Structure 1
Amino acid sequence: MNFTISGHHLDVTPAIREHVLSKLERIKRHFDQVIDISVILTVDKITEKEKRQKAEINLRVKGKDLHAESIAHDLYAAIDLLIDKLDRQVIKYKDKLQNHQHSAIKHIPEDLPSAAA
């Protein structure tokens, strides 16, 4: 699994890196077939009073790319919201994979009345 974390207009400290990695353990617990994870952390300074912290993630699994983003006034809160959104997407994708089994035509009972008869 490839993991990249980058920061735009901020330095990624070891504390931020450890926080992201500890939160991503929840994703790995639900779905372990992750190919690539890319996290981008951004600080937007609109005015001096308003500072927006933005976190976004691209998660590549077999057959699908998942994307989530969140915005908050605190970077740690943005990361927590981001992981919550991504966790819901991963669980939904995993359920789709597991529930995609259909019964074959040869296993359908033949005693059903046909429309032609």
Structure 2
Amino acid sequence: MQTNLTMRHGHLSEETQERILAKTEKLPRHFERLSSIELIVDLQDASKPQVELLVSSEHKHDFVSHVQSDNLLTAVEQVVHKMEQQLRKYKERTIEKHRDPEVKRLPTEQPDE
């Protein structure tokens, strides 16, 4: 899986970049078929950084979430949380779509005594 971190209108220290990327590493736990993660941090307004998270998965499914907050790390946590919710909801929807409600557990056969 490919992970990219892009900064607009500013620069972040290596330590901050590593902390941000570490937060995105837990996304594949919610949906296994992710092909790329791109995190865009816009520092144009330093008092309210804007964070955008773009996630691509197999079969052309793209997910996007945006957050603007007073603190950069808070914004990253919020955008990752939003993405986790989207991925969880999508995964449940695909499971329900392929599940047949008519098929239930088959009764186990009892041997005649």
The answer, yes or no, to whether TM exceeds 0.5 is yes
Letter in 2 for 1:36: S
Q: Secondary structure at the match of 2:98?
A: coil
Q: Secondary structure at the match of 2:74?
A: helix
Confirm or deny that 1:79 pairs with 2:76. Answer: yes
Q: Secondary structure at the match of 1:4?
A: strand
Cα distance between partner residues in 2 of 1:80 and 1:99? 29
Q: Secondary structure at the match of 1:39?
A: strand
Cα distance between partner residues in 2 of 1:16 and 1:87? 21
Report sequence identity in percent: 20
TM-score (structure 2 length as normaliser): 0.79
Whether the 8 Å contact between 1:6 and 1:12 is mirrored in structure 2 is: no
Alpha-carbon deviations, 1:29-49, whole Å to 9, x = none?
Answer: 11221111111001133xxxx
Alpha-carbon deviations, 1:6-39, whole Å to 9, x = none?
Answer: 1011213222222222211321211221111111
Sort the Cα spacing of 1:29 and 1:7 in 2 relative to 1 into closer, same or farther, 3 A. same
Letter in 2 for 1:3: T
Tell me the residue number matched to 1:58.
54
Q: Which runs of 5+ in 2 are unaligned?
A: 104-113
How many residues align structurally? 102
Larger Rg: 1
Letter in 2 for 1:61: S
Runs of 4+ in structure 1 off by over 6 angstroms are none
